């Protein structure tokens, strides 16, 4: 990394230190706004917020275990055309990976953007985060961070991380221009921030921060973090495969689907302007429904649920970043994150493709490689 510095933390207040850091960033004349999760004044919730007034950063809370949506979609909206100023976006690791995929798909641009990534400690589902009720969100965030860094995996008062976060093996914000380290850091005194790109280094050099470096303990902390989640990921995959390894089992797994398509809307990398499932292709005639019911004796309504999810799996398998927003958006709590993560893993391994790993890697279905899968295509 080209440059590193330290974000001072006074009285152990991580949020206060991060907010002051973001104020310094926003004070730069070339920075038009900062996109960062902020606490809502009207409800105990944290949402991505585009901030241009430094005073409004007093509500910034990028450490809260709230993940209502994958903000890569919001960054895509802000960057797909010329905005007229540089935006700094504070993103989770999976949001960065999703954004990189969107750039490859020409749904976003990086020219007027600087990404700040923070080691991701995970998040709760929306329903679980709402369980904190009237508790002060900032105080709850402090308890969550302490639990996560103490090795208790962010569990607070019986509330545990969302399934996708429990098995995430990519907590490090690779691809960010600036990386703020939590793992292995002495968070009571200062947070290290390091530049990973020339753009990040240029911004960091202009901030009034003391010099520093990533702690030596970071590597060991990262390894321990990933190993614990890898074992959970393997267990989750085994359990999910046993529940979906036949068409009958998969049908039962998806039985409560109501074709609301929330999972499609929430997916950060499902970018089609018009989905085939909301066109008249699947607007069947009444006589067709009666015909199916007549042949089978009964037909579940709505129809096409299994076909819809199989189509999504085929379409998104190589691009799934494992953020879990498909499950977060499901009104009937279908464990879609487990299904998509489990089904995507062997597909991504087969293509040696890790979505969001690099802007230089083309999506597998966007190019043909003659030497690929020779045993299938028969090319020698």
Average pLDDT over residues 133-152: 87
Of the residues 226, 256, 283, the one at which a domain ends:
226
Q: Are residues 214 and 259 in the same domain?
A: no
Of the residues 171, 191, 226, the one at which a domain ends:
226
Residue 353 belongs to domain spanning:
240-377
Tens of pLDDT along 107-121? 999 999 999 999 999
Residues of the chain with pLDDT > 70: what percent?
A: 97
Of the residues 174, 200, 226, the one at which a domain ends:
226
Per-residue pLDDT at 278: 81
Q: Are residues 363 and 274 in the same domain?
A: yes
Task: Judge whether residue 91 has pLDDT over 90.
Answer: yes
Q: Are residues 45 and 103 in the same domain?
A: yes
More confident of the two residues 310 and 378: 310
Tens of pLDDT along 332-350? 999 999 999 999 999 999 9
Tens of pLDDT along 127-141? 999 887 667 899 999
Label residue 178 by pLDDT band (50, 70, 90).
very high
Name the DSSP letter for residue 282.
G
Q: Are residues 146 and 268 in the same domain?
A: no
Give the burial class of 171: count Cβ atoms within 10 A of its Cβ; 0-12 exposed, 13-18 middle, 19 or more buried: buried
What is the rounded distance in angstroms from the CA atom of residue 23 to the CA atom of residue 245? 51
Task: Judge whether residue 380 has pLDDT over 70.
Answer: no
Is 265 among the domain residues? Answer: yes
Is 235 among the domain residues? Answer: no
Question: How many domains does the chain fold into?
Answer: 2
Q: Provide the token pair at 342.
A: 């489990």
Q: Provide the token pair at 309.
A: 């999810």
Is 306 among the domain residues? Answer: yes
More confident of the two residues 378 and 12: 12
Tens of pLDDT along 15-58? 999 999 999 999 999 999 999 999 988 778 899 999 999 999 99
Q: Are residues 339 and 206 in the same domain?
A: no
Identify the H or E element spanning 51: strand 46-51
Is 178 among the domain residues? Answer: yes
Answer for the pair 103, 359: CB distance below 8 angstroms, yes or no: yes
Task: Judge whether residue 10 has pLDDT over 50.
Answer: yes
Question: Mapping DSSP to helix (H, G, I), strand (E, B) and coil, where does residue 38 land?
Answer: strand
Label residue 163 by pLDDT band (50, 70, 90).
very high
Q: Are residues 75 and 164 in the same domain?
A: yes
Q: Are residues 194 and 275 in the same domain?
A: no
Q: Are residues 105 and 207 in the same domain?
A: yes
Average pLDDT over residues 130-157: 86
Task: Judge whether residue 274 has pLDDT over 90.
Answer: no
Label residue 376 by pLDDT band (50, 70, 90).
low
Q: Which of 1-10, 162-171, 287-296, 357-366 has the lowest mean pLDDT?
A: 1-10
Q: Are residues 220 and 360 in the same domain?
A: no
Q: Are residues 210 and 313 in the same domain?
A: no
Average pLDDT over residues 194-204: 95
Average pLDDT over residues 59-74: 95
Is 233 among the domain residues? Answer: no
Other Cβ atoms within 10 Å of 248 Cβ, number: 9
Per-residue pLDDT at 1: 46
Is 292 among the domain residues? Answer: yes
Residues of the chain with pLDDT > 90: what percent?
A: 75
Query: How far does CA 364 lie from the centroid of its chain?
Result: 21
Q: Are residues 127 and 249 in the same domain?
A: no
Average pLDDT over residues 255-273: 91
Q: Are residues 298 and 368 in the same domain?
A: yes
Identify the H or E element spanning 6: strand 3-8
Per-residue pLDDT at 100: 97
Is 342 among the domain residues? Answer: yes
Is 252 among the domain residues? Answer: yes
């Amino acid at each position: 990394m080209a440059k590193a510095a330290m974000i001072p933390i006074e009285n152990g207040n991580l949020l206060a230190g991060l907010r002051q850091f973001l104020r310094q960033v926003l004070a730069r004349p070339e920075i038009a706004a900062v996109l960062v999760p902020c606490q809502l004044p009207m409800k105990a919730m944290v949402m991505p917020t585009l901030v241009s007034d430094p005073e409004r950063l007093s509500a910034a809370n990028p450490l809260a275990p709230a993940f209502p949506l994958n903000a890569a979609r919001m960054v895509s909206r802000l960057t797909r055309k010329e905005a007229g100023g540089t935006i700094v976006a504070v993103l989770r690791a999976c949001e960065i990976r999703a954004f990189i995929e969107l750039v490859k798909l020409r749904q976003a641009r990086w020219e007027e953007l600087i990404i700040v990534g923070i080691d991701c400690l995970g998040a709760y589902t929306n329903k679980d985060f709402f369980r904190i009720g009237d508790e002060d969100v900032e105080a709850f965030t402090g308890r969550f961070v302490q639990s996560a860094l103490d090795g208790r995996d962010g569990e607070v008062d019986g509330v545990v991380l969302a399934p996708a976060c429990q098995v995430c093996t990519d907590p490090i914000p690779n691809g960010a221009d600036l990386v703020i380290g939590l793992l292995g850091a002495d968070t009571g005194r200062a947070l290290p921030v390091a530049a990973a790109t020339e753009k990040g280094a240029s911004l960091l050099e202009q901030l009034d921060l003391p010099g520093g470096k990533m702690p030596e303990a970071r590597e060991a902390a990262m390894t321990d973090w990933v190993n614990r989640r890898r074992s959970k990921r393997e267990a989750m995959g085994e359990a999910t495969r046993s529940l979906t390894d036949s068409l009958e089992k998969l049908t039962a797994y998806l039985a409560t689907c109501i074709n609301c398509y929330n999972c499609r809307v929430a997916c950060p990398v499902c970018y089609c302007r018009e989905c085939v499932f909301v066109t008249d292709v699947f607007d069947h005639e009444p006589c067709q429904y009666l015909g199916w019911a007549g042949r089978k004796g009964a037909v579940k309504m709505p129809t096409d649920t299994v076909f819809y999810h199989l189509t999504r799996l085929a379409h998104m398998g190589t691009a799934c970043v494992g953020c879990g927003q498909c499950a977060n958006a499901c009104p009937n709590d279908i464990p879609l994150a487990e299904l998509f993560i489990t089904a995507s893993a062997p597909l991504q391994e087969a293509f040696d493709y890790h979505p969001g790993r690099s802007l230089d890697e083309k999506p597998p279905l966007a190019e043909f490689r003659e030497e690929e899968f020779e045993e299938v295509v028969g090319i020698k």
